[in-house]
Amino acid sequence: EQIANFCCVDEFEQLAKNKLPKNWLDYYASGSCSETTLRLNKSAFLKLRIKPRMLRDVSKLECSTRILGNKIPIPIGVSPTAMQKLACPEGEIANVKAVASTKSIYILSTLSTTSIEDVAAAAPDTIKWFQLYIYKDREITRNLVSRAERAGFQALVLTVDASVFGKRYADCRNKFSLPPHLELANLKGISSSTFEGSEGSGLQSYVNSLFDPTITWDDVKWLKSITKMPLVLKGILTAEDAKIAADMGVPAIMVSNHGGRQLDTCPASIEALPEIVKAVGDRCEVYLDGGIRYGTDIFKAIALGAKMVFVGRPAVWGLSCAGEEGVKKVLKILREEFQEAMALSGCVELSDIKKDMIVHEDSYAK
Ligand code: FNR
């Protein structure tokens, strides 16, 4: 077992890079355009310092939290990433089962290679949320929402940062497409479930021809009217938008820039987080994804006001290296590193992790 001795998430990324075919690896790894935001998501965490407190009894740590009314033991979940069967044959099933073992939250992408129903059947007792892209054809959209609700998904995660597709140069060069044995399982029989990269990225053509670029806050209201599932808006990056969401009664926001894959040079998620938390106060739950690779990153996000964090690529690297076991190990490493960060900074529960423990490196220069 190659992963048995792995100590950190980076090792999974390195091995995945050796294992995956180039066009799929490029699809998973890339960000849009200059990839500035992609890099910033990680580097922004490293510019923050944790000021630790000593001599507190840290023998017992309590990491549980309540998310949309459900108690979960650890504030680390898995973000939606499309087409997980490119990483390993069991794809989404392996990923959701790994999350099931942590009793945390798994978010299934609209563009999955396993259907809503099959994911639900594989992990019936796990908290699953469904990530939605709004199709121009609203019957397709309605169909996806009602199937997720019927299958027991507990929240609807509307991705708001992808009204058009962020250009990823590598996918354009590779003419990225799905191999013949895979398809977009949720769209089978109701829309095109495959795509080809005849000119540039096939996924880019798919998204730009089928997803609805006209969506506005009215569509958020529309979604609220067609489902009982609570809404999570994924991809909010400003206090202004966060306030609109809170005013509309949206219960949760995920601060995210789509892993640096949409608007290049927009802020890192961790940079955008504080103004959003300040803007909404207790009116919405705020989560974060983007660039989480170490337990200390999770600590910083919680300190700056996130209720929980999600990881996209780290789970994909785990899948690529060793399927379900790989994701389990990635999540275990992140949990243990987070607990170590708590203990070494004198925090025994999440509410001990306070904003004033985080200092930006620039403030030391003065
Ligand atoms: C994504 N992301 C994404 N988001 C979404 O809402 N729907 C989707 O289908 C996808 N697909 C997808 C594929 C791949 C390969 C990646 C890397 C990302 C974005 C994802 O949910 C999340 O926001 C980022 O992955 C978080 O950043 P990290 O953890 O990858 O740094």
pTM equals: 0.99
State how far the Cα of 290 lies from the Cα of 363, in Å rounded to an integer.
24
- Ligand 1 atom index nearest CA of 157: 6
State how far the Cα of 126 lies from the Cα of 120, in Å rounded to an integer.
8
Q: Whose CA is nearest to atom 14 of ligand 1?
A: 81
Residue 238, number of CB atoms within 10 A of its CB: 15
Q: Tell me the pLDDT tens digit for each residue of 219-253.
A: 999 999 999 999 999 999 999 999 999 999 999 99
Would you say residue 198 has pLDDT above 90?
Answer: no
The whole-number pLDDT of residue 232 equals 99
Amino acid at 33: C
Q: Whose CA is nearest to atom 2 of ligand 1?
A: 81
- Ligand 1 atom index nearest CA of 159: 6
Q: Is 79 in the pocket of ligand 1 (CB under 6 A)?
A: yes
Would you say residue 365 has pLDDT above 90?
Answer: no
Enclosing H/E stretch for 208: helix 202-210
Orientation angle between helical segments 313-344 and 295-303, nearest 10 degrees: 70
Q: Is 81 in the pocket of ligand 1 (CB under 6 A)?
A: yes
Active-site residue, 181 included: no
Confidence of residue 68 (pLDDT cuts 50, 70, 90): very high
Q: Is 186 in the pocket of ligand 1 (CB under 6 A)?
A: no
Name the residue of 106, 258, 297, 309 to mutate for ligand 1: max ligand atoms within 8 A of Cβ: 258
Q: Whose CA is nearest to atom 18 of ligand 1?
A: 81
State how far the Cα of 80 lies from the Cα of 108, in Å rounded to an integer.
5
| 3-state class (DSSP) for residue 53 | coil
- Ligand 1 atom index nearest CA of 83: 13
Region 106-119 average pLDDT: 98
Q: Is 159 in the pocket of ligand 1 (CB under 6 A)?
A: yes
Q: Tell me the pLDDT tens digit for each residue of 279-330.
A: 999 999 999 999 999 999 999 999 999 999 999 999 999 999 999 999 999 9
**CA of residue 260 to ligand 1 center, whole Å:** 9
The whole-number pLDDT of residue 12 equals 98
Region 13-26 average pLDDT: 98
Q: Tell me the pLDDT tens digit for each residue of 138-186.
A: 999 999 999 999 999 999 999 999 999 999 999 999 999 999 999 999 9
State how far the Cα of 99 lies from the Cα of 156, in Å rounded to an integer.
18
